[in-house]
Copies of this chain bind each other. A is one copy, B any other.
Amino acid sequence: MKKIAILGSTGSIGTQALDVVRNLPEEFSVEVLAANSNVETFAAQVEEFRPRLAVLADEAAFKVLRQKKFSGVELAGGRQAFVDAATVDGVELVLTGMSGFAGLEPTLKAIACGKNIALANKETLVVAGELVTKSAEARGVKILPVDSEHGAFFQCLQGENPRAIEKLLLTASGGPFRGKTFDDLRNATVKEVLAHPTWNMGRKITVDSASLVNKGLEVIEAKFLYGVDYDQIQVVVHPQSIVHSMVEFVDGSVIAQLASTDMRLPIQYALTYPRRLPSPVKRLDFWQLNSLTFEPPDVETFRGLKFAYEAGKAGGTLPCTFNAANEVAVREFLRGRIKFLDIYDVIDNAMWRRPVTQNPTLEDLIAEDSETRRLSEKFIEEEII
């Protein structure tokens, strides 16, 4: 049995990961569950999976949780307990299912303790790609991608020499606004943004998907996971979301991974790797499948992708700046305080204003994240609202 910790267990990735565990009860022992503040869901998970340790980051939520009794389960609360949850002795694999910059510190801690990482928190690699890949290499830790696209790359690269990669073909559904013009998007509502045509995901990533910022984050993530240059990563819009990404090799051959849109598949692959085990995921039926189409992304309208390439190529702290500005902008968009297209202006402003520090330490990144948040909040208050 593989001993695992699931951080962010009440989120979209966490709940689906627990569904994978439920389907393969002989394979996993859930040693640690950690979440932010959703007490009700969390308590039910603790009841069902009986981890050794259960942590809620939010102090108030923890106080509610503490009222309950779970025999054999140690309970802990607070931000530091959440970070420490990644380091528990005996755990072999940590699934990082929490979202945003907050995922960086626990992930680095888990790596430092030699835990393999099933990485769903893409911000970790975007913000601190070099730190993370270097420390993973130094500790001999495996980073197993959970994103459907990076999971696809990972599967396509099994048995291949990474030096034979010519290009990574990163597919994008195009989101709910594919084909829309700048004018169409001026008054896009939160509801429209959240109506993703193919994937059912968390709110933050669904907004990022509509703005193509998510695809941009994935470009940077891919760069660090597979050690290619940015010029070797091509985004291809594929509205059906059946091909989850592809690798082109130096001989002109392309290997692709296809599946139905069910996150349990890449999650399970990361958890069971290097084995493939049976899963209840719906099979593709090629006799019924209609057509698969491909087209270039509209990077003039959906500027999120262009910003990401710029940030990635500049390197240093700029991807952190890009990510922090976007996190603030999406939060304010979801609160109804700014419009959809304002997200781009918030990012653009931060990327113009913030100086770039090369080879940042974790402290530099934490500082850059705070600075950008402050700057972006100020920009929103003063220039947008």
Contact residues in B for A82 (Cβ distance below 8 Å): none
Please determine whether B155 and A255 come into contact, CB atoms closer than 8 angstroms. Answer: yes
Q: Which residue of B lies closest to A250 (CB)?
A: B278
Q: How far is the CB of A368 from chain B (nearest CB, A)?
A: 34
Please determine whether B283 and A252 come into contact, CB atoms closer than 8 angstroms. Answer: yes
Task: From the candidates B159, B262, B265, B277, name the one contacting A158 in the complex (CB within 8 A).
Answer: B159
A295 within 8 A of B: yes
Please determine whether B250 and A276 come into contact, CB atoms closer than 8 angstroms. Answer: yes
Q: Which residue of B lies closest to A279 (CB)?
A: B251
A251 touching B236 in the complex, CB below 8 Å, given contacts A158-B160, A246-B258: no
Q: How far is the CB of A276 from chain B (nearest CB, A)?
A: 4
Please determine whether A253 and B259 come into contact, CB atoms closer than 8 angstroms. Answer: yes
Contact residues in B for A254 (Cβ distance below 8 Å): 257-259, 284
Please determine whether A252 and B248 come into contact, CB atoms closer than 8 angstroms. Answer: no
Grouping DSSP codes into helix (H, G, I), strand (E, B) and loop, the A interface class, with mixed when no group exceeds half, is loop
Chain B CB within 10 Å, residue with most, of A155, A161, A262:
A155
A251 touching B234 in the complex, CB below 8 Å, given contacts A256-B256, A276-B164, A286-B169: no
Please determine whether A281 and B156 come into contact, CB atoms closer than 8 angstroms. Answer: no
Please determine whether A257 and B255 come into contact, CB atoms closer than 8 angstroms. Answer: yes
Q: Write the A272-311 contact mask toward B (1 if CB under 8 angstroms, else 0).
A: 0001111101111011011111111000000000000000
A226 within 8 A of B: no
Query: How many chain-A residues does the 8 Å CB contact rule pick out?
Result: 49
Contact residues in B for A283 (Cβ distance below 8 Å): 248, 252
Distance in angstroms between the alpha carbons of A160 and B158 in the assembled complex? 7
Task: From the candidates B164, B258, B277, B278, name the one contacting A256 in the complex (CB within 8 A).
Answer: B258
Q: How far is the CB of A259 from chain B (nearest CB, A)?
A: 5
A37 within 8 A of B: no
Contact residues in B for A258 (Cβ distance below 8 Å): 246, 253-256
A116 within 8 A of B: no
A260 within 8 A of B: yes
Q: Which residue of B lies closest to A252 (CB)?
A: B281
A269 touching B253 in the complex, CB below 8 Å, given contacts A159-B158, A164-B276, A286-B234: yes
In the complex, chain A residues 61-111 whose Cβ is within 8 Å of any chain B Cβ:
none
A317 within 8 A of B: no
A277 touching B251 in the complex, CB below 8 Å, given contacts A256-B256, A286-B236, A291-B291: yes
Q: How far is the CB of A209 from chain B (nearest CB, A)?
A: 19
A268 within 8 A of B: yes
A49 within 8 A of B: no
9 A-B contacts (beta carbon < 8 Å): A160-B276, A246-B258, A251-B265, A251-B269, A251-B276, A253-B259, A254-B257, A290-B293, A291-B291
Name 9 extra pairs, CB < 8 A, besides A158-B160, A255-B255.
Answer: A156-B255, A158-B159, A234-B286, A251-B279, A252-B279, A252-B281, A253-B258, A256-B256, A290-B294
Interface residues of A (CB under 8 A from B): 155-161, 164, 169, 234, 236, 243, 246, 248-260, 262, 265, 268-269, 275-279, 281-284, 286-287, 289-296
- Give 4 nearest A-B pairs by CB, closest first: A159-B159, A158-B159, A252-B281, A291-B291
